[in-house]
Every structure is written in C-alpha cells, then in structure tokens.
Amino acid sequence: MKLYTSAVVAGLTLSLGLSGCVSKSKYKSEVEALNAEISKSKEQNQALTGEKTQLEEKLIATAKDRGQLKTSLDEMKKAMEEMRQRQAEQRKRLQEFEDLTKRFKKLTDAGAITVNIIDGKMVVSLGSDVLFPSGSAKLSAAGLEAIKEVTTQLKSIEGKTYQVEGHTDNVPIATAVFPSNWELASARALTVTRAMIDGGMPAVRVSAASFGDTHPVQPNDTTEGKAKNRRIAIVVVPDLSTMPGYDELNKVGAGN
C-alpha cells in the first residue's frame, strides 16, 4: 500500500512539475510577444510622429509660400496702379503743355516768347531785351503789354501757380542800384510779378525768384547766347499732390 501511495505522489509531483514548466514557458512566450508588440507600437508611434512633424513643416512652408505669394501679388498690384497713375499724370501734363502752346501761339509765332519743358516743368520765357532797357528793371511799354497778354492767358488756367524767375548773362553789373547780377535779376522778377498782379493775377498764385547768371540756356561766348540767357522765365509750378506716392511722402514729411 505504501508503495502505491508513493507512486501516486511521485506521479502527481511530476505532473505538477511538468505543468509548472509548461505554464512558465507559455507566460514567457506571451511576455516576449507583448514586448515585441510594444516595441513595434513604439516604432510605429515614432514613425507617425516623424510624419506629423514633416506634415507640420510642409504646412508651415506652404503657408509661408502663400504669404510671400500674396505679398508679391499685392506689391505687383501696387506697382501697376502707380504706373497707371504716372501714365495718367503724364497724359495730363502733355495735354496741359499742348493747351499752353496753343494759348501762346500768336506770341510764339511772333518770336516774343517761347514755351518749353525745362527740368520737367512748363516754362514761358520772355527775352529781357524786349521787356527792359539795358541795365534797368523798369518795364518798357512793349514789355508791359507783353506781360499783360501773358497774364491774361495764365490767370485763366485754373488751379495753377507760377514762379517768375529773373536770369541774366554772365556780364557782371556793379552799380549803386544793382551791386551784382543777382540784384538785377531779382528786381526784374519782382517788377514782372507786380505787373502780373496788377493785370489780375491773384497774388497767392505768383512768386518771384532770382537766379542771376547761374542758369544759362545757351553758352555765354556769343552775342546770341548772351541774349538768350537774359530772360524772364515764368514757370508753371508742378502740383505734387497729383503725383503717385504723394500721400506716403506727405506722411513721412508730417512725421518729421
């Protein structure tokens, strides 16, 4: 009986031992499989994180490109608009110049005056030899009539202001009344300005300036050149408010 019992016990022990080994082996396999899944999940998560980062970078780059494209388009539109404004201003100035030449056709045909564009400004020029006696700032009778006729035409052009410039040749003058060419040119410009005001030109629309012999239109080495340089130039003052970019320029000036 003892022998049987011992055999049974030994058999159970062996069975339990084998069962324990099988369970441990199975558990180990499950743990290894679980760890492998975890590692795989980590790798997949890292890959997804990398893809997400790439997508975010592409999104940022795309947004930046769109922003740059919009900026470029806005700048292009602004440049085109400014170009259209400049073209419109040029057409307007050309029309004004044509109108000015038509107004003075009679005087230009007679050789009394010239109408030109000088340094981008419309200029009506009258020879000083016609307007004044030599070395004098007093208008001659013919000169006064010429100024009256010019004033009649200029004052009828709405919205325009004028600067009367006095110019001389390079022959120096030194008298008690006119110590230099600057004083002579200044006195002549003021005389014409007063005559224009007397002729109906509003005083707020006209001013005077002296350039002496510093702005010749011809070389002073000939008699004809000197005669061309002795002149009164009535300049049509440009209206900067109509120029493209004036608003921005005005803001900068206001900030100083």
> Is the pLDDT assigned to residue 161 strictly greater than 60?
yes
State pLDDT tens for residues 58-77: 777 776 777 676 777 777 77
Q: Is 163 helix (H, G, I), strand (E, B) or coil?
A: strand
Q: Where are the domains of the chain?
A: 27-84, 95-240
Alpha carbon of residue 108 to chain centroid: 37
The residue ranking higher by pLDDT, 79 or 245, is 79
Strands 161-167 and 113-118: unpaired
pLDDT single digits (tens) 184-219:
999 999 999 999 999 999 999 999 999 999 999 999
The pairing of strands 161-167 and 206-212 is parallel
pLDDT at 177 over 80: yes
Mean pLDDT of the chain: 81
Nearest to 107 by CA among 94, 124, 93: 124
User: Hey, what are 85's tokens?
Assistant: 């404004």
Q: Which fold has domain 95-240?
A: 60s Ribosomal Protein L30; Chain: A; (3.30.1330)
> Please, are residues 122 and 236 in contact by the beta-carbon 8 Å criterion?
yes
Predicted pLDDT of residue 91: 80
Q: If 0-12 CB within 10 Å is exposed, 13-18 middle and 19+ buried, where does residue 174 land?
A: exposed
